Amino acid sequence: MLVFGAAVVINRNPVASALSLVVSFLGLAALFMSLDAYFVGIIQVLVYAGAVMVLFLFIIMLLDLRVEKLRKINWVATTGGAVVALALLIQIFYVVGNFKAASQPFPPLTRSTIDDVHNVGSLLFSSYNLPFQVIGVLVLVATIGVVVLSKRELR
């Protein structure tokens, strides 16, 4: 999964990047399943490997993006970005290494989570009902925004 995640960044061809992203998300869905979160894993496959990826590939094909020409690389920006990312990685390793709970194995589940759609759904419609409605409004606003942005005569 990490290899394909890196391939997203390294590939020069946008189509290869998008397909690496699919494989990376499928690996992530497998990790969710291994954490007994079946609902989230299936949503991950449906939303990312299905919808988002079709959207990315559609835009890449629509804009007809080819393999990028080798431009003069801005070395200051590239090395600066790499150094900041490396510093972030070192900090993450340090923090996780000093985190007491991180070295303990997961406690066992006494009940099966194979029906966690039911559990997530009942929590979503009871304790998290207001955020759920707000997210619905957000999706509506995003839809309207996309339609407005895509209109040709935006003057």
Closest approach of Cβ 141 to other proteins, in Å? 8
Closest approach of Cβ 149 to other proteins, in Å? 4
Closest approach of Cβ 21 to other proteins, in Å? 5
Closest approach of Cβ 39 to other proteins, in Å? 7
- Please choose, from the candidates 56, 57, 29, the residue with its C-alpha nearest in 3D space to the C-alpha of residue 44: 29
Q: How far apart are CA 51 and CA 113, in angstroms?
A: 26
Q: Rounded to the nearest 10 degrees, how much is the dihedral formed by the CA atoms of 32, 35, 38, 41?
A: 0
Q: How far apart are CA 124 and CA 79, in angstroms?
A: 44
